Structure 1
Amino acid sequence: MKQNKFTVRYLLIFSIAFLSSNCIIAQEKKVAVTPQELYNEIALQDSIIFHYFNTQNFKSFKAMFTKDLEWFQDNDGLISYEKVFENFKSTFNKPFKLTRQLVSGSLEVHPIKNYGAIEIGVHQFKHVENGKEETGTFKFVMIWQKIDGLWKISRVISYDH
Structure 2
Amino acid sequence: MKKNVTIRIAFTVLSVVTGTLSLHAQKTPGELSKLILEKDSIFWTSYNKCDTALNAQFFSEDVEFYHDKGGITYGRHNLVMSLQNNLCSNPNFRIRREAVPNTLKVYPLEKNGVIYGAVMTGEHYFYITQNGKPESREGHASFTHLWLLKDGAWKMHRIISYDHHPAASR
Identify the TM-score tier after normalising by the shorter chain.
Answer: 0.7 to 0.9
Matching residue of 2:88: 92
Q: Which residue of 2 aligns with 1:50?
A: 44
Q: Which residue pairs with 1:159 in the alignment?
A: 162
Kindly indicate whether residue 42 of structure 2 is the aligned counterpart of residue 39 of structure 1.
no
Counterpart-to-counterpart distance in 2, 1:44 and 1:78: 26
Secondary structure of 1:92's counterpart equals coil
C-alpha separation between the residues in 2 aligned to 1:146 and 1:121?
Answer: 20
Letter in 2 for 1:53: Y
Moved more, 84-93 or 35-44: 84-93
Q: How many Å apart are 1:134 and its aligned residue? A: 4.3
Using the size of structure 1 for normalisation, the TM-score is: 0.72
Displacement after TM superposition at 1:83 (Å):
3.6
Partner Cα separation in structure 1 for residue 69 and residue 54 of structure 2: 27
Distance in 2, Cα, partners of 1:45 & 1:77: 25
**Which whole-Å CA distance do the structure 2 matches of 1:159 and 1:128 have between them?**
22
Deviations 1:40-66 (A, max 9, x none): 111101101011111221101011100
Post-superposition Cα deviations, 1:25-84, rounded to whole Å, max 9, x if no partner, equal: xxxxxxxxx721111111101101011111221101011100111111112332222442
1:98 deviation in Å? 1.5
Q: Distance in 2 between matches of 1:110 and 1:61?
A: 22
CA distance in 2, matches of 1:125, 1:119: 18
Asked whether the equivalents of residues 94 and 130 of structure 2 are also in contact (C-alpha less than 8 Å), the reply is no
Match 1:148 to one of 130, 146, 151: 151
Structure exhibiting the larger radius of gyration computed from Cα positions: 1
3-state secondary structure, aligned to 2:94: coil
Identity %: 31
Structure 2 match to 1:126: 127
TM-score, normalised to structure 2, is 0.69
- AA aligned opposite 1:92: C
Instruction: Please tell me the residue identity of whatever aligns with 2:79.
Output: V
CA–CA separation in structure 1 for the residues paired with 2:137 and 2:123: 17
SS in 2 for 1:116: strand
Q: CA RMSD in A?
A: 1.7
Structure 1 runs (4+) deviating above 3 angstroms are none
The SS at the match of 2:50 is coil
Distance in 2 between the 1:101 and 1:76 partners? 20
Structure 2 residue matching 1:61: 3-state secondary structure: helix
Gaps of 5+ in 1: 1-33
